[in-house]
Homo-oligomer: A and B are copies of this chain.
Amino acid sequence: MAVDPKLDLPDITDIHLARARIQHQVKPTPVLSDPDLDDWAGCKLSLKCENFQRTGSFKFRGASNAIIRLDEDLDDGAPKQAVATHSSGNHGAALALAARISGREAHIVMPDDSVATKVAAVKRFGGTVHFCKPTHESREAGLATLVDQGMTAIHPYDRAEIIAGQGSCALELLGEKPGLDLLLAPVGGGGLISGCALAAQAQGVSVIGAEPEGAADTHASLEQGHRVDHWTPNTIADGLRAIVGERNFLLISKLVSQVVLVGEDEIRAAQAAAWRYLRMVVEPSSATVLAAVKRYPEVFSGHRVGAIISGGNVLLGDWCKTVDS
């Protein structure tokens, strides 16, 4: 999935258009809060719960926007091409469902060590799984083969339509909760936070990212002033292991005020807090935002913080062990 050198970037208009384009198939997820959670966190949290989005994560927004855009660009009577991507998890399931709704085939290249439940999810939403070796090269090669067969590749985050789709959840949050001081989102490949930052900037709300210490490529990129494109991730936050994308890093550099780092134990404690105070299952990637407000009172204390809970797709055995204490 090489990135086009022209680097088409979305703007706030694209976010509004994406929201209108996808709203018939994307769920308006709830914004939840809890006074006991606020006591724990030391700030006033409004959680945009994309864990209740279809396919269990925000990824369905971007995938829906990308596929509907393809449909809009089709000539009359032209056949709907199959779409393809490589993904170890949420983007694959999201693309499979968005394709199914459109009447397209979806082919997902997945590492052969992928979590069984995520493979099952892709299949449940109608996607065809192609296993590959768990290396970047094998994933790219598997996808290239599918593209050679005439399929359209949909990058998980480094694509304008994907970024615009993800940003729609911040539009909903900011509309429902005016007066937020800060918007906080997890940082992996950067699709979610770059879209959210476009939405927040337009309303004068500062944006902060939360990234695991074991996958701190965006934090390092900001420190070094250029995109770090090699990093060996080591974190339980499986949704945040990707390297930040080119379009994503450009937008983050311009629009995000800082990216803060959280540790693995802090992520686990935050998953437990989400269960204890909200009776909610959040995946490790989502828990980074709760870990961040807890770790950095000098940044968040006393503020009204809107935070994106990005997904709820966990390996249940691991999750139970983490929160049941």
> Which of A's residues lie within 8 Å of B, judged by CB?
27, 30, 32-36, 51-52, 54, 56, 278-281, 312-313, 316-317, 320, 323-324
Contact = CB atoms under 8 A, between A and B. Distances in A.
A102 to B, nearest CB: 15
Contacts of A36: 54
A90 to B, nearest CB: 12
Contacts of A323: 316
Q: How many copies does the complex hold?
A: 2
20 contacts: A27-B32, A27-B33, A27-B34, A30-B30, A32-B52, A34-B54, A35-B54, A51-B279, A52-B278, A52-B280, A56-B279, A279-B312, A279-B313, A280-B281, A281-B281, A316-B323, A316-B324, A317-B320, A317-B324, A320-B320
A121 to B, nearest CB: 9
Cβ-closest 4 pairs across A and B: A30-B30, A279-B312, A316-B324, A320-B320
Nearest to A36: B54
Contacts of A56: 279
A30 B313 CA distance: 20
Given A52-B280, A54-B34, A278-B52, A316 B320 contact: yes
A10 to B, nearest CB: 27
A34 B30 CA distance: 13
In this complex, which of A33, A35, A323, A324 has the most chain B Cβ atoms within 10 angstroms of its Cβ? A324
Contacts of A281: 279-281
Nearest to A35: B54
A181 to B, nearest CB: 22
A51 to B, nearest CB: 5
Given A27-B34, A32-B30, A279 B52 contact: yes
A36 B25 CA distance: 11
A166 B27 CA distance: 28
A312 B32 CA distance: 15
Contacts of A51: 279
Contacts of A316: 320, 323-324
